[in-house]
Amino acid sequence: MTATFIPRRARGTILARETTDRAMLRAFLETDRLYAAYALCDLDDREFLRTRWGVALAGGHPIAVALQYAGYAPQPVFVMGENAGIEAILAGVIKPRTAYVAARPENLVAISASYRVDSGPAMYRMWVDSAHFHPFPAAVERLQPEDIGELNRLYQLGFAAWLPASAIADGLYYGIRVGGRLVSAAGTHVIGPAARLAVVGNVMTHADFRGRGYATAVTAAVTAELLRFCDKAVLNVRTDNPPALAAYRRLGYQVHVTFEERLIHRSEPIWSGWTGMFRRILTRKES
Protein backbone atom coordinates (compact mmCIF):
# COMPACT_ATOMS: atom_id res chain seq x y z
CA MET A 1 0.00 0.00 0.00
CA THR A 2 1.50 3.35 -1.02
CA ALA A 3 1.54 6.42 1.16
CA THR A 4 -0.70 9.36 0.33
CA PHE A 5 -0.64 12.89 1.67
CA ILE A 6 -2.94 15.81 1.02
CA PRO A 7 -1.49 19.08 2.35
CA ARG A 8 -4.01 20.90 4.56
CA ARG A 9 -3.55 24.27 2.87
CA ALA A 10 -4.21 22.76 -0.57
CA ARG A 11 -6.65 19.96 0.19
CA GLY A 12 -8.57 19.01 -2.92
CA THR A 13 -5.99 20.53 -5.29
CA ILE A 14 -2.73 18.64 -4.67
CA LEU A 15 -2.33 14.94 -3.97
CA ALA A 16 1.13 13.60 -3.09
CA ARG A 17 1.74 9.86 -3.19
CA GLU A 18 4.38 7.24 -3.78
CA THR A 19 4.61 5.88 -7.31
CA THR A 20 6.34 3.22 -9.38
CA ASP A 21 4.85 4.43 -12.67
CA ARG A 22 8.01 4.74 -14.74
CA ALA A 23 6.20 5.91 -17.86
CA MET A 24 4.70 8.86 -16.00
CA LEU A 25 7.99 9.67 -14.29
CA ARG A 26 9.92 9.50 -17.54
CA ALA A 27 7.49 11.79 -19.34
CA PHE A 28 7.74 14.37 -16.54
CA LEU A 29 11.54 14.19 -16.25
CA GLU A 30 12.02 14.43 -20.01
CA THR A 31 10.71 18.03 -19.86
CA ASP A 32 14.24 18.91 -18.68
CA ARG A 33 16.28 15.81 -19.36
CA LEU A 34 19.70 17.35 -18.72
CA TYR A 35 18.75 18.63 -15.28
CA ALA A 36 16.98 15.31 -14.58
CA ALA A 37 19.77 13.14 -16.03
CA TYR A 38 20.51 11.23 -12.81
CA ALA A 39 16.82 10.53 -12.26
CA LEU A 40 16.25 9.41 -15.84
CA CYS A 41 19.17 6.98 -15.58
CA ASP A 42 17.71 5.67 -12.31
CA LEU A 43 14.58 4.56 -14.17
CA ASP A 44 16.59 1.73 -15.75
CA ASP A 45 15.85 -1.70 -14.25
CA ARG A 46 19.06 -2.11 -12.23
CA GLU A 47 18.89 1.32 -10.62
CA PHE A 48 15.12 1.52 -10.20
CA LEU A 49 15.18 -1.17 -7.50
CA ARG A 50 17.33 1.16 -5.38
CA THR A 51 14.98 4.12 -5.62
CA ARG A 52 11.80 5.45 -4.06
CA TRP A 53 9.68 8.02 -5.85
CA GLY A 54 7.04 10.51 -4.87
CA VAL A 55 4.78 12.45 -7.22
CA ALA A 56 2.46 15.41 -6.65
CA LEU A 57 -0.67 15.57 -8.76
CA ALA A 58 -2.96 18.51 -9.43
CA GLY A 59 -6.08 17.77 -11.43
CA GLY A 60 -4.68 14.30 -12.03
CA HIS A 61 -1.53 15.64 -13.70
CA PRO A 62 2.00 15.52 -12.20
CA ILE A 63 3.37 18.89 -11.10
CA ALA A 64 6.41 17.68 -9.13
CA VAL A 65 8.47 14.58 -8.42
CA ALA A 66 11.01 13.62 -5.78
CA LEU A 67 13.48 10.75 -5.89
CA GLN A 68 15.17 9.14 -2.89
CA TYR A 69 18.09 6.83 -3.67
CA ALA A 70 18.72 3.95 -1.28
CA GLY A 71 21.89 3.70 0.76
CA TYR A 72 23.51 4.89 3.94
CA ALA A 73 22.32 8.20 5.37
CA PRO A 74 22.49 10.91 4.28
CA GLN A 75 20.83 9.60 1.12
CA PRO A 76 20.66 11.46 -2.19
CA VAL A 77 17.34 13.16 -2.93
CA PHE A 78 16.38 14.91 -6.16
CA VAL A 79 13.39 17.22 -6.59
CA MET A 80 11.88 18.78 -9.68
CA GLY A 81 8.71 20.73 -10.40
CA GLU A 82 6.42 23.24 -8.76
CA ASN A 83 7.14 24.31 -5.17
CA ALA A 84 3.68 23.42 -3.87
CA GLY A 85 4.09 19.88 -5.20
CA ILE A 86 7.62 19.48 -3.85
CA GLU A 87 6.48 20.71 -0.43
CA ALA A 88 3.62 18.18 -0.41
CA ILE A 89 5.87 15.25 -1.36
CA LEU A 90 8.50 16.07 1.26
CA ALA A 91 5.83 16.62 3.92
CA GLY A 92 4.19 13.25 3.58
CA VAL A 93 5.86 10.84 1.16
CA ILE A 94 9.63 11.16 0.81
CA LYS A 95 10.81 11.89 4.37
CA PRO A 96 14.43 10.93 5.11
CA ARG A 97 15.85 12.24 8.37
CA THR A 98 18.89 13.64 6.59
CA ALA A 99 19.72 13.77 2.89
CA TYR A 100 21.81 15.43 0.25
CA VAL A 101 19.29 17.20 -1.93
CA ALA A 102 19.78 18.38 -5.50
CA ALA A 103 17.39 21.19 -6.33
CA ARG A 104 17.02 24.33 -8.34
CA PRO A 105 17.61 27.47 -6.25
CA GLU A 106 13.95 28.47 -6.46
CA ASN A 107 12.93 25.12 -4.92
CA LEU A 108 14.86 25.61 -1.67
CA VAL A 109 11.91 27.48 -0.15
CA ALA A 110 9.70 24.41 -0.61
CA ILE A 111 12.35 22.14 0.91
CA SER A 112 12.69 24.51 3.88
CA ALA A 113 9.07 23.85 4.83
CA SER A 114 10.09 20.39 6.12
CA TYR A 115 13.87 20.62 6.43
CA ARG A 116 16.65 22.73 7.83
CA VAL A 117 18.88 23.44 4.86
CA ASP A 118 22.65 23.77 5.34
CA SER A 119 24.66 26.21 3.31
CA GLY A 120 26.31 24.70 0.29
CA PRO A 121 27.91 25.36 -3.06
CA ALA A 122 26.14 26.44 -6.19
CA MET A 123 26.68 23.84 -8.89
CA TYR A 124 26.68 23.78 -12.67
CA ARG A 125 25.16 20.91 -14.61
CA MET A 126 27.28 20.64 -17.76
CA TRP A 127 26.71 18.53 -20.85
CA VAL A 128 28.36 17.49 -24.07
CA ASP A 129 27.39 15.47 -27.13
CA SER A 130 29.37 14.04 -30.02
CA ALA A 131 28.95 17.20 -32.11
CA HIS A 132 30.54 19.41 -29.42
CA PHE A 133 33.06 17.00 -27.88
CA HIS A 134 36.79 17.80 -28.30
CA PRO A 135 39.00 14.72 -27.79
CA PHE A 136 42.09 14.99 -25.59
CA PRO A 137 44.53 12.22 -26.63
CA ALA A 138 46.67 10.94 -23.77
CA ALA A 139 48.14 7.73 -22.37
CA VAL A 140 45.22 6.52 -20.26
CA GLU A 141 44.02 3.05 -19.36
CA ARG A 142 40.65 1.47 -18.71
CA LEU A 143 40.44 0.45 -15.06
CA GLN A 144 39.19 -2.99 -14.04
CA PRO A 145 37.41 -4.21 -10.88
CA GLU A 146 40.72 -5.50 -9.50
CA ASP A 147 41.97 -1.89 -9.51
CA ILE A 148 39.42 -0.85 -6.87
CA GLY A 149 42.00 -0.83 -4.07
CA GLU A 150 44.24 1.63 -5.90
CA LEU A 151 41.26 3.72 -6.91
CA ASN A 152 40.00 4.01 -3.35
CA ARG A 153 43.45 4.92 -2.06
CA LEU A 154 43.48 7.78 -4.56
CA TYR A 155 39.95 8.85 -3.71
CA GLN A 156 40.54 8.78 0.05
CA LEU A 157 42.77 11.80 -0.46
CA GLY A 158 39.78 13.95 -1.35
CA PHE A 159 36.53 12.00 -0.96
CA ALA A 160 34.78 10.84 2.19
CA ALA A 161 33.35 7.61 0.76
CA TRP A 162 34.73 4.43 -0.74
CA LEU A 163 33.61 2.56 -3.84
CA PRO A 164 32.87 -1.16 -4.20
CA ALA A 165 34.41 -3.13 -7.06
CA SER A 166 30.96 -3.18 -8.69
CA ALA A 167 31.31 0.57 -9.32
CA ILE A 168 33.97 -0.24 -11.90
CA ALA A 169 32.28 -3.40 -13.18
CA ASP A 170 28.93 -1.66 -13.70
CA GLY A 171 30.39 1.70 -14.71
CA LEU A 172 33.30 3.03 -16.68
CA TYR A 173 36.61 4.25 -15.23
CA TYR A 174 39.86 5.43 -16.78
CA GLY A 175 43.10 6.29 -15.04
CA ILE A 176 46.67 7.47 -15.50
CA ARG A 177 49.63 5.81 -13.83
CA VAL A 178 53.04 7.33 -13.23
CA GLY A 179 55.75 4.88 -12.28
CA GLY A 180 53.10 2.21 -11.91
CA ARG A 181 51.12 4.32 -9.41
CA LEU A 182 47.55 5.44 -10.09
CA VAL A 183 47.65 9.24 -9.84
CA SER A 184 44.52 10.34 -11.67
CA ALA A 185 41.12 8.81 -12.43
CA ALA A 186 37.62 9.61 -13.63
CA GLY A 187 34.52 7.48 -13.90
CA THR A 188 30.75 7.41 -13.95
CA HIS A 189 28.10 7.91 -11.31
CA VAL A 190 25.38 6.25 -13.36
CA ILE A 191 24.74 5.11 -16.93
CA GLY A 192 21.22 4.97 -18.38
CA PRO A 193 21.14 2.97 -21.62
CA ALA A 194 17.39 3.48 -22.10
CA ALA A 195 17.68 7.24 -21.60
CA ARG A 196 20.92 7.30 -23.62
CA LEU A 197 22.44 9.47 -20.89
CA ALA A 198 25.37 9.02 -18.54
CA VAL A 199 26.80 11.00 -15.64
CA VAL A 200 30.56 11.50 -15.44
CA GLY A 201 32.08 11.91 -11.98
CA ASN A 202 34.64 10.89 -9.38
CA VAL A 203 37.35 12.93 -11.12
CA MET A 204 40.46 13.06 -8.96
CA THR A 205 44.17 13.75 -9.41
CA HIS A 206 46.79 13.36 -6.69
CA ALA A 207 47.95 16.78 -5.47
CA ASP A 208 51.55 16.05 -6.50
CA PHE A 209 50.50 15.54 -10.13
CA ARG A 210 48.06 18.38 -10.74
CA GLY A 211 48.53 20.98 -13.43
CA ARG A 212 49.59 18.42 -16.03
CA GLY A 213 46.23 17.91 -17.75
CA TYR A 214 45.67 14.48 -16.21
CA ALA A 215 42.13 15.23 -15.00
CA THR A 216 41.22 16.53 -18.45
CA ALA A 217 42.69 13.41 -20.05
CA VAL A 218 40.83 10.86 -17.93
CA THR A 219 37.56 12.82 -18.16
CA ALA A 220 37.99 12.93 -21.94
CA ALA A 221 38.56 9.17 -22.09
CA VAL A 222 35.41 8.43 -20.08
CA THR A 223 33.37 10.91 -22.10
CA ALA A 224 34.56 9.57 -25.45
CA GLU A 225 33.63 6.02 -24.48
CA LEU A 226 30.19 7.09 -23.20
CA LEU A 227 29.37 9.02 -26.36
CA ARG A 228 29.73 5.81 -28.34
CA PHE A 229 26.35 4.68 -26.99
CA CYS A 230 24.85 7.75 -25.27
CA ASP A 231 23.42 10.88 -26.85
CA LYS A 232 24.83 13.10 -24.11
CA ALA A 233 27.14 12.93 -21.12
CA VAL A 234 26.64 15.24 -18.17
CA LEU A 235 28.63 16.17 -15.08
CA ASN A 236 28.43 18.44 -12.05
CA VAL A 237 31.02 21.02 -11.04
CA ARG A 238 31.09 23.72 -8.40
CA THR A 239 30.64 27.21 -9.77
CA ASP A 240 33.65 28.35 -7.71
CA ASN A 241 36.09 25.87 -9.31
CA PRO A 242 37.57 27.74 -12.31
CA PRO A 243 40.28 25.12 -13.11
CA ALA A 244 37.71 22.33 -13.39
CA LEU A 245 35.37 24.53 -15.41
CA ALA A 246 38.17 25.38 -17.81
CA ALA A 247 39.11 21.71 -18.21
CA TYR A 248 35.55 20.64 -18.95
CA ARG A 249 34.97 23.51 -21.36
CA ARG A 250 38.14 22.48 -23.16
CA LEU A 251 36.45 19.15 -23.84
CA GLY A 252 33.33 20.87 -25.18
CA TYR A 253 31.13 20.69 -22.08
CA GLN A 254 28.59 23.50 -21.77
CA VAL A 255 26.60 24.78 -18.80
CA HIS A 256 22.94 23.79 -18.85
CA VAL A 257 21.68 25.03 -15.48
CA THR A 258 22.77 26.21 -12.05
CA PHE A 259 21.45 24.13 -9.15
CA GLU A 260 22.10 23.51 -5.46
CA GLU A 261 23.50 20.54 -3.58
CA ARG A 262 22.63 20.88 0.09
CA LEU A 263 22.66 18.74 3.21
CA ILE A 264 19.17 18.86 4.73
CA HIS A 265 17.89 17.80 8.17
CA ARG A 266 14.29 16.93 8.95
CA SER A 267 12.56 19.62 11.00
CA GLU A 268 10.47 18.32 13.89
CA PRO A 269 8.21 20.23 16.28
CA ILE A 270 9.68 20.49 19.76
CA TRP A 271 6.79 18.37 21.08
CA SER A 272 7.22 15.53 18.56
CA GLY A 273 9.37 13.46 20.91
CA TRP A 274 6.82 13.79 23.72
CA THR A 275 4.00 12.83 21.35
CA GLY A 276 5.76 9.60 20.45
CA MET A 277 6.43 8.80 24.10
CA PHE A 278 2.79 9.37 25.12
CA ARG A 279 1.61 7.22 22.21
CA ARG A 280 3.83 4.34 23.34
CA ILE A 281 2.58 4.68 26.93
CA LEU A 282 -1.08 4.61 25.84
CA THR A 283 -0.48 1.64 23.55
CA ARG A 284 1.18 -0.25 26.39
CA LYS A 285 -1.75 0.45 28.73
CA GLU A 286 -4.30 -0.66 26.14
CA SER A 287 -2.49 -3.93 25.55
Q: What is the CATH number of domain 4-121+261-268?
A: 3.40.630
The pLDDT value recorded for residue 73 is 78
Q: What is the structure's pLDDT at 5?
A: 47
Given this model, what pLDDT does residue 2 score? Answer: 45
Q: Are strands 75-81 and 98-103 parallel, antiparallel or unpaired?
A: parallel
* pLDDT values of the chain reduced to their tens digit, one per residue, 287 residues: 444 444 444 445 999 999 999 999 999 999 999 999 999 999 999 999 999 999 999 999 999 999 999 987 799 999 999 999 999 999 999 999 999 999 999 999 999 999 999 998 899 999 999 999 999 999 999 999 999 999 999 998 655 567 889 999 999 999 999 999 999 999 999 999 999 999 999 999 999 999 999 999 999 999 999 999 999 999 999 999 999 999 999 999 999 999 999 999 999 764 445 555 555 555 555 44
Domain positions in the chain are 4-121+261-268, 133-252
Write down the pTM of the prediction: 0.86
Give the pLDDT of residue 158: 59
Domains 4-121+261-268 and 133-252 equal at CATH topology level: yes
The CATH code belonging to domain 133-252 is 3.40.630.30
